[in-house]
Amino acid sequence: MVVKTLDDLVAEGVSGRTVLVRSDLNVPLDGARITDDGRIRASVPTIRTLLDAGARVVVTAHLGRPKPGADNSEYSLAPVAGRLGELLGTEVTLADHGDEATAAAGALADGGVVLLENIRFDPRETSKDAAERRTLAAELAALAGPTGAFVSDGFGVVHRRQASVYDVAQLLPAYTGGLVRSEVDVLRRLTEEPERSYVVVLGGSKVSDKLTVIEALLPKVDSLLVGGGMCFTFLAARGLGVGDSLLESDQIGASRGLLETGKIVLPTDVVVADDFSAEANTRTVPVEEIPDGWKGLDIGPESVAAFADVVAGAQTIFWNGPMGVFELAPFAEGTRGVAQAIVDATGKGAFSVVGGGDSAAAVRALGLPEDGFSHISTGGGASLEYLEGKELPGIAVLENGQRSA
């Protein structure tokens, strides 16, 4: 079945119709201050297109992982509603679920927009019970009314079988938003005969988090560069001592097997510290000389140069995960250096994808040019699962479970 798109929906006509849009507005907050609005900005084009076409838009989204029954005020989407309104140039009403949402959706004028409060405040959103999710999805669908439609535009959640992502798409005529469509198109370029050489750069904390994606990627890539906390488990698999660095002892055997492919490139030097702190004492040491009691928190300059050499010869690059604790200044240079190498390769014609999550946050936090990469994904987990070859429920339901308008 051919999945219908946002363009198809607009062509059918949306003036006077209510469109439920699932966006990914899960942004980092410092109190009520948004520290990275990348996902909000990415959501704007689809919403703007619908508003300009005269739709009445109801946006549903989540923020963080609120706990049922707890005080979840810190997870309110109120700051997001304000920022979304600024970017759209129109007022965005924030409505609680239930009667308030029903009233707000019913009062919408053509070209108006309502943002529903954090959908995860309702435990049915993430329930393993399909009937519970279906009940919540029916309540969301009712907001759109008999002529309504659903647009899936939250790529960061399409790997979740959740009420506002999966179940509602079976209750309303469903369409792929511009963001989700562009994300999938980009990832297909990485999986369907990518230009060689194909280099993947992986960082982050744990091998266990990325073991399956490494196993899936190794047969397809030319080189896989490993930094971040996960590199120390690989170094331990080579028989090296790693001091107090992050180590998953139960993954050493699996890591040793992956190293036998000969495609994994590890750091040769690291920045170590005697404490996990920006004020800690630091040294740059060869990986064979990590002192006892010290922990590796970044890759070193020799490793950055070696990684950059590999990246420079690439035509296709996928990067997911920082090279170190980039949030702390003494341990940011590894991530900055490798990211700059990817920007340089992109400028010479390589196709580069930043795989969302902390990598996308690092690009912005370190002041790197966002347009220096071919694509910055909004969904780290979703992009990794796509590259693993897993079925993404939020995509599959559009392909297989779509209602006819």
Inter-axis angle of helices 130-144 and 99-106, nearest 10: 30
Q: Is 356 annotated as ligand-binding? A: yes
Full-prediction pTM beyond 0.85?
Answer: yes
Q: Is 283 annotated as a binding residue?
A: no
Q: Report the DSSP pairing between strands 198-202 and 316-320.
A: parallel
Q: Are the beta carbons of 22 and 162 closer than 8 angstroms?
A: no
pLDDT, average across residues 381-399: 92
Active-site annotation holds for 206: yes
Say what the pLDDT of residue 356 is: 75
Q: What percent of the chain has pLDDT over 90?
A: 91
Query: Whole-angstrom Cα distance, residue 378 to residue 100?
Result: 30
Is residue 140 a known part of a binding site?
Answer: no
The DSSP string of 279-323 is TS-EEEEEGGGPPTT-EEEEE-HHHHHHHHHHHHT-SEEEEES-S
pLDDT (0 to 100) of residue 314 = 98
Residue 401 has pLDDT above 90, yes or no: no
Among 3, 40, 43, 50, smallest CA distance to 148 is for 50
pLDDT at 405: 36
Mean pLDDT of 74-91: 97
Residue 70, pLDDT score:
85
Asked if residue 286 has pLDDT above 80, the reply is yes
Residue 216 CB burial class (10 angstroms; 0-12, 13-18, ≥19): middle
> What is the pLDDT at residue 404?
37
- Of the candidates 243, 357, 379, 380, the residue annotated as catalytic is 357
Give the pLDDT score at 380. 86
> Strands (DSSP E) along 31-81, which ranges?
33-34, 56-60
User: Which residue in 4, 17, 39, 295 is the catalytic one?
Assistant: 39
- Name which of 188, 184, 189, 216 is nearest 202 in CA terms: 216
Q: Mean pLDDT for the chain?
A: 95
Residue 169: strand, helix, or coil = helix
Q: What angle do CA 223, 315, 202 make, to 5 degrees?
A: 40
The pLDDT of 119-134, averaged and rounded, is 97
Residue 232: which pLDDT band, with cuts at 50, 70 and 90? very high
Does 63 count as an annotated binding residue?
Answer: yes
Do the annotations mark residue 203 as ligand-binding?
no
Task: Return d(Cα 19, Cα 283) in angstroms, integer.
Answer: 56
Residue 266 has pLDDT above 80, yes or no: yes
User: Is residue 363 pLDDT above 80, yes or no?
Assistant: yes
The single-letter code of the amino acid at 270 is V
Reported confidence tier of residue 403, pLDDT bands at 50, 70, 90:
very low
Is 348 noted as a catalytic residue in this protein?
Answer: no
pLDDT reported for residue 400: 72
Task: Using alpha carbons, select from 331, 377, 343, 385 the residue that is nearest to residue 357.
Answer: 377
The residue type at 287: V
The residue-averaged pLDDT of 194-222 equals 94
Which residue among the candidates 41, 206, 256, 390 is catalytic per the annotation?
206
Structure tokens at 53: 């076409």
**What pLDDT does residue 5 have?**
96
| Residues 385/392, Cβ–Cβ less than 8 Å | yes
Rounded average pLDDT over 128-141: 98
Which entry of 82, 241, 381, 401 is annotated as an active-site residue? 381
Average pLDDT over residues 251-262: 95
Tens of pLDDT, residues 59-69: 999 999 998 77
Mean pLDDT of 13-25: 97
- Enumerate the H helices of 207-261 as residue ranges: 207-217, 231-237, 252-259
For 26-60, how does the pLDDT look when each residue is reduced to its tens digit (9 = 90+)? 999 999 999 999 999 999 999 999 999 999 999 99
For a pLDDT cut of 70, what percent of the chain falls above it? 98
Q: Read off the pLDDT of residues 143-181 as tens digits, 9 standing for 90 and up.
A: 999 999 999 999 999 999 999 999 999 999 999 999 999
Does the annotation place 359 within a ligand binding site? yes
Task: For residue 348, say whether it is annotated as part of any ligand binding site.
Answer: no
pLDDT computed for residue 130 by the predictor? 97
Structure tokens at 377: 């994904």
336 carries a ligand binding annotation: no
Q: What is the mean pLDDT of residues 3-16?
A: 96
Q: Say if residue 148 carries a ligand binding annotation.
A: no
pLDDT at 3: 87
Is residue 357 flagged as an active site residue?
A: yes
pLDDT at 26: 95
Band of residue 358 on the pLDDT scale cut at 50, 70, 90: confident
pLDDT given at position 357: 80
381 carries an active-site annotation = yes
Q: Please state the φ and ψ torsions of residue 217, each to the nearest 5 degrees.
A: -85, -35
